């Protein structure tokens, strides 16, 4: 399963790069024109090192408190790399069976079968293009 999402990981995968998003609330920067040419240049310069790491390691983990711009940063980086973004969010109401995969009883006539059904995350991973 993870081979689909992260095809470049072998039997001895490299650990992902860890990048901390600073504790700056999004509301503190929302007043700025994030589409201005000056901000676009700053953003490209600011994320060029992250892009270099991503090209080499194939995945990174952005971490930080809620509202600090992790998703915003990921989308900027993907756009700079001519990437398409998709997202899926795990919610606490999901069980493993709904999110990854699980067996679900299915009645056919007098017989009950238990086919394995893919969950939201597995379907998401299978929909991603395979990257080299």
Question: Is the same domain home to 132 and 79?
Answer: no
| pLDDT tens per residue, range 55-109 | 888 778 888 888 888 888 888 888 888 777 777 888 888 899 999 999 989 998 8
Is residue 60 within 8 Å of residue 53, measured between CB atoms?
Answer: yes
β-pairing verdict for 17-20 and 60-63: parallel
3-class SS shares of the chain: helix, strand, coil, % to 5: 40, 15, 45
Count: domains in the chain? 2
Last residue of a domain, one of 66, 83, 100: 83
| pLDDT tens per residue, range 115-131 | 999 999 999 888 877 75
Task: Let me know if residue 27 belongs to a domain.
Answer: yes
Task: Let me know if residue 4 belongs to a domain.
Answer: no
pTM above 0.75, yes or no: no
**Integer Cα distance of 3 and 114 in angstroms:** 25
Range of the domain at 118: 86-132
Is residue 89 within 8 Å of residue 99, measured between CB atoms?
Answer: no
Kindly state the helix (H) or strand (E) to which residue 101 belongs, with its residue range.
Answer: strand 101-103
């Amino acid at each position: 399963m993870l081979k689909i999402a992260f095809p470049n990981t072998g039997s001895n995968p490299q650990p992902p790069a860890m990048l901390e998003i600073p504790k700056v609330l999004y509301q503190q920067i929302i007043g700025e024109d994030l589409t201005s040419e000056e901000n676009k240049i700053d953003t490209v310069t600011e994320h060029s090192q992250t892009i270099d790491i991503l090209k080499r390691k194939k995945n990174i983990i952005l971490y930080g408190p809620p509202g600090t711009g992790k998703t915003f940063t990921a989308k900027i980086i993907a756009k700079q790399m001519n990437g398409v973004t998709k997202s899926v969010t795990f919610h606490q109401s999901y069980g493993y069976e709904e999110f990854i995969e699980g067996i679900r009883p299915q009645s056919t006539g007098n017989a009950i079968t238990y086919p394995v059904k893919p969950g939201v995350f597995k379907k998401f991973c299978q929909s991603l293009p395979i990257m080299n």
